Amino acid sequence: MKRLTRVLALLLALTMVAAACGSDDDDGGEAAPVTTAAPVATDADASSDAAEASIAFDYGVDEDTVRIGAIADLSGIFSGLVTQIVDAQTVYWDMVNAAGGIGGKQVEFIVLDNAYDVPTHLERYEAMRDTGADGVVMLSQSTGSPHTAAIAEMAIEDNLAVIPLSWYSGWSDPDFGKNIFESYSNYCYEAMNGVDYLNRYMQEQGVGSPTLAIVSFPGEYGGDGAAGARLAAEALGIEVVADLGGTVIPGADNTPVISQLVEANADMVWTTLSSGTLTEAMLGASAQGYEPMWSGNVPSFSYLLLGGDVAPLLDTNYIANTYIVTWNTPNVPGLEKLKAEMTAAMPDAVVSDAYIMGWTEAMAAHQALDQAASNGDMTRAGVVRAFNEITAEFDGLAPTQSWGGGDVNDLIVRETYTYDVVLADYDAGATLAEGGGTGTVLVEGPRAADITKAHVYVGACDKG
- Domains defined along the chain, listed by start: 6-185+332-411 (3.40.50.2300), 187-322+416-463 (3.40.50.2300)
Q: How far is CA 200 from the centre of its chain?
A: 27
- Whether omega for the bond prior to residue 210 falls within 30 degrees of 0, making it cis, is no
Contact (Cβ atoms closer than 8 angstroms) between residue 173 and residue 399? no
Side-chain half-sphere of 420: how many Cα atoms within 13 Å? Answer: 10
Amino acid found at 210 = P
- Alpha carbon distance 402, 425 (integer Å): 34
The span from the CA of 73 to the CA of 86, in Å, is 9
| Buried b / exposed e along 115-134 (16+ C-beta atoms within 10 A) | bbbeebbebbbbbbbbbeeb
DSSP designation for 228: H
Given this model, what pLDDT does residue 174 score? 81
Looking at residue 134, its pLDDT comes to: 77
pLDDT along the chain (464 residues), means of 10: 36 31 36 40 42 79 96 92 96 98 96 96 94 89 93 94 95 82 96 98 97 96 97 98 96 95 98 95 98 96 95 98 96 96 97 96 98 97 96 97 91 97 96 96 97 96 88
∠ CA 356-361-363, rounded to 5° = 90
CA distance 195 to 199: 6
d(CA 242, CA 240): 6
Q: What is the pLDDT of residue 464?
A: 76
pTM as predicted = 0.85
